[in-house]
Structure 1
Amino acid sequence: MSAAPHASRTHFDPYRLDPRDILEPPVGLANILRKIGPGIVLAASIVGSGELIATTALGAKVGYTMLWLVIVSCLIKSVVQAFLGRYVIARAETGLDAVNHIPGPRTKHFNWVIVAWAIMVFLTLFQIAAMFIGVSQVMFRLTDIAVGAWVIIFWVLTLVLLLGGGYARMERLAMVKVGLFTLITLLAAVLLMTSPSFSVAEMASGFRFELPSQGMAIAIAVFGITGVGATELYIYTYWCVEKGYARYTGPYEDGEAWRRRARGWAHVMNVDVVFSMIIYTVATVAFYLLGAGILHAMGQVPNGAEMIDVLSNIYTQTLGGWARYLFYVGAIIILFGTIVAATAGHSRMCSDLMRILGQYDKDDLRARNRWRDVFVVVLTVIPVVMFWIFGQAPVQMVTWGGMAQAAMLPIISCATLYLYYRHMRRTLVAPGWMVALLWIAAIFIIGFVIPSLAGELKKMFG
């Protein structure tokens, strides 16, 4: 793989376009695969509380009924992800810059979409708190050291890994996590096939496109956070910027050279989206089927302080008691890895928000990184405080965060359509079939989320 253009420079700003960074897009699948990465980092943050906790809990509660929704959730939102990545390449803007173009109520610096995003990010910190609880519950069972102490230990480890770290560090960490949880997922699939409670006929019942009579709140949360959640759709634009897709394309020029590079790097980005989609779809479906095939048959739904013990049954019921420790290793990798990856993404977005609010200039990389590190601390302290306030209710915490993400999906879907038709450079328009998929995705997201969420909120507060 050829060195990146900035490799010879001591300092470079991944958010600034510089003609010295221009790079021709790779040709051939092998060369393209060497340039993917943002999707892998995203996959590291995706496979976490949604898959191990919420998805498995949904399967345990409703059986195979919602299998269709889990698969649709993973596939359909990747279309929105691809269009946001394309926008980044065309306009060299971050996710928050992009949605700040959306018309509607606004202040001097930001609009209503950014306000909605900020509220969502705060609520998704409940998911981070749930992951701190989950991984700490595992360590409590291994060491008999209190869960609260382990929450603090994992908080410190998160700071050590993230403070001062750039994209390259995150990509390396993500590669390790993705490789490990891929092995765990393959093992999970083998476990499912050997489970006496599994049957192909029952699994096929998950494609009747039915909604459950109970567990709808978890179902909405699962749709919000499985596959690419609303937070990941925003975050992906930052990983694309830091990977260099817009920089490699170069400053906009009305000519064939820029158009060729833009289309080439958009193709690389599309491969990145598809590759990561395959990874997290397989992992998500595997954990859902384990919940439906094993826990549902046992009549056990993970919850509270016993969440980890109940979840471990997906291994121990097939392999025996010794497999509990195998599950513990997998849970640590999945949950702690997601804490790190999700916090890395959120901290970049919050740092960018400070720029939008006028706290530093666009070209001030040192200030951007300083704010990023500030938010690494803030965005991990808040979940720790949530743990001490709300106690051990991880499934409920994941559900709250997931419902917040689900509520954001119609907004970001409509925003993506607006940006494509009003702000996308005409030299980088997508093929007609991709545009059709974007419309289908947006219509499905709006048609499922708004009525489902409204009905569930009416039950909760009506």
Structure 2
Amino acid sequence: MANAAPDLTAEPRKKWKVIGPGLVVAATGVGAADMVSTLVAGSMFGFALLWAIIVGVILKIVLVEGAGRYVLASGKTIFEGWRSLGRWPVWYFAPYIIIWGFIYGATAMVTTAMPIAALLPGVPLNLIAVICGLVGLVLVWFNRYAVFEKITAALVGIMFVVIVGLAIIAAPSLPDLLAGLVPRLPGDSVLYTLAMAGGIGGTITLVAYGYWLREKGWSHPSWMRVMRIDNTMAYVITGIFVISMFIVGATVVAEAGVTLSADSKGLLQLTDVLKDKYGDVIGVAFLIGFFAASFSSLIGVWNGVSLMFADFWGNVRGKGPDHKDSRENGKYFRFYLLWLTFPPMLLLLIGKPIALVIAYGVLGALFLPFLAITLLPMLNTDRVPKEWRNKWYTNVALVITAVLFICLAIYKLADIIVGLFS
């Protein structure tokens, strides 16, 4: 039987003690790519797009709350909910999770290795990447969710202190910062606005929230209020983190007059800028924060997406979600954990085959619209008890979220097509 939900009215401070899965999903969703896109947007448009970050945080709170509410109210996993909609979600999700894991595994290992390689310039990047992947494998393979959550919380603490500290040091202009809360679209900022509002905070890892709720022991509607506090607190922290990166981009990077690379190398370029402006200590501290953000994403995916795959494959094989093979450290979980770690190491040597990269980009661009659209029937029908179905304003928020993600997907797909013929 699941543990009884705590009485949060007894002592306000106890609200902080229940924070857990939300912080994990938020930390997993904010990786190097989000950090770079935020820095670039800040350096290009100043504080003009600050409002888009806040909109993005609100939309992610709505989206993740919907996923968590479905799991707690229905007693089923997200994949079971998708399967109730017909066969098409299965046909979409199956290639997605396989291709995504193959490409992401290599990307996560390299991104995590980059700050270490900057600190240890004599050690080959690929060697460090392999070690990072293996360390992530060991941490997830031999530990249950409770330990994994504590490790993630420690990494979040490091990245939060470092990045927020940088924003404070940068000393932004308060009037300029407040002016950024007024919605506006500077020239050529549509794509960056969509990225700020829709791309911050994860894609497939948002769905992992429902699985982490189950591993935490939150598996009954009595945990609904706790889940909502957990989710909101976590994305408020994420919002502060992303805004801090935005401030660094709008002040430090803009003042330095440099153009950052659009990929993870942009963070290494920022390290050089920070060293020139504030000294080596600040530069090294940023590399540590960079590593914490990247490694928290790596182990978050190693655990959360492996849980999703275990449930998916267990369903396909006719086993229930509570079967030992469909849970953490079951054989399906460990298969995908190995899939994330070892096959992608080949990509470190041979590069990323163009066909896989294209498939990864297409499926990734379409995942968030898929999630937002599927949550609408899942949360408005008898798939959940009436008291936990969407209110009208929740439906409006989900529709807005779906439209935003569809627009972002169109831009991403157009970018992929242009890249093919350029």
Partner of 1:302: 261
Moved more, 428-437 or 285-294: 428-437
Are 1:21 and 2:35 matched, yes or no? no
**Offset, 1:61:** 5.0
Are 1:236 and 2:209 matched, yes or no? yes
**Aligned pair in 2 of structure 1 residues 233, 333: CA closer, same or farther (>3 Å)?**
closer
Deviations 1:277-308 (A, max 9, x none): 11111111211231233224423213569544
**Offset, 1:219:** 6.2
Q: 1:114 aligns with which of 74, 93, 107?
A: 93
* Alpha carbons 1:85, 1:236 under 8 Å: kept: yes
Q: Distance in 1 between matches of 2:186 and 2:418?
A: 16
Q: 1:147 aligns with which of 122, 125, 149?
A: 125
Q: 1:324 aligns with which of 283, 289, 299?
A: 283
Partner of 1:158: 136
Partner of 2:81: 98
**Offset, 1:168:** 0.8
Amino acid at match of 2:311: D
**Aligned pair in 2 of structure 1 residues 36, 309: CA closer, same or farther (>3 Å)?**
closer
Q: Distance in 2 between matches of 1:238 and 1:59?
A: 34
**Offset, 1:43:** 2.2
Figure out how many residues of one structure are paired with residues of the other and give that number: 410
Partner of 2:110: 133
**Aligned pair in 2 of structure 1 residues 235, 362: CA closer, same or farther (>3 Å)?**
closer
**Aligned pair in 2 of structure 1 residues 82, 208: CA closer, same or farther (>3 Å)?**
closer
Q: 2:72 aligns with which of 86, 89, 92?
A: 89
Displacement over 6 Å in runs of 4+? 399-403
**Aligned pair in 2 of structure 1 residues 306, 458: CA closer, same or farther (>3 Å)?**
closer
Q: Secondary structure at the match of 2:171?
A: helix
Q: Distance in 2 between matches of 1:412 and 1:329?
A: 33
Q: Distance in 2 between matches of 1:121 and 1:279?
A: 31
Amino acid at match of 1:365: K
Moved more, 24-33 or 45-54: 24-33
Partner of 2:179: 204
**Offset, 1:319:** 1.6
* Alpha carbons 1:192, 1:290 under 8 Å: kept: yes
Partner of 2:233: 275
Q: 1:380 aligns with which of 341, 350, 359?
A: 341
Q: Secondary structure at the match of 1:421?
A: coil
Q: Distance in 1 between matches of 2:14 and 2:180?
A: 41
Q: Secondary structure at the match of 1:209?
A: coil
Partner of 2:158: 180
Q: Distance in 2 between matches of 1:135 and 1:428?
A: 40
Amino acid at match of 1:21: A
* Alpha carbons 1:58, 1:291 under 8 Å: kept: yes
Sequence identity of aligned pairs in percent? Answer: 20
Normalised to the residue count of structure 1, the TM-score between the two structures is: 0.78
Correspondence list, 1:217-236, <5 A: 225-227=199-201, 229-236=202-209
Q: Distance in 2 between matches of 1:381 and 1:321?
A: 35
**Offset, 1:376:** 1.1
**Offset, 1:403:** 6.9
Unaligned runs of at least 5 residues, structure 2: none
* Alpha carbons 2:117, 2:123 under 8 Å: kept: yes
**Offset, 1:186:** 2.0
**Offset, 1:373:** 1.6
Partner of 2:298: 339
Normalised to the residue count of structure 2, the TM-score between the two structures is: 0.85
* Alpha carbons 1:80, 1:413 under 8 Å: kept: yes
Unaligned runs of at least 5 residues, structure 1: 1-19, 250-261, 392-396
RMSD: 3.2
Q: Distance in 2 between matches of 1:27 and 1:205?
A: 35
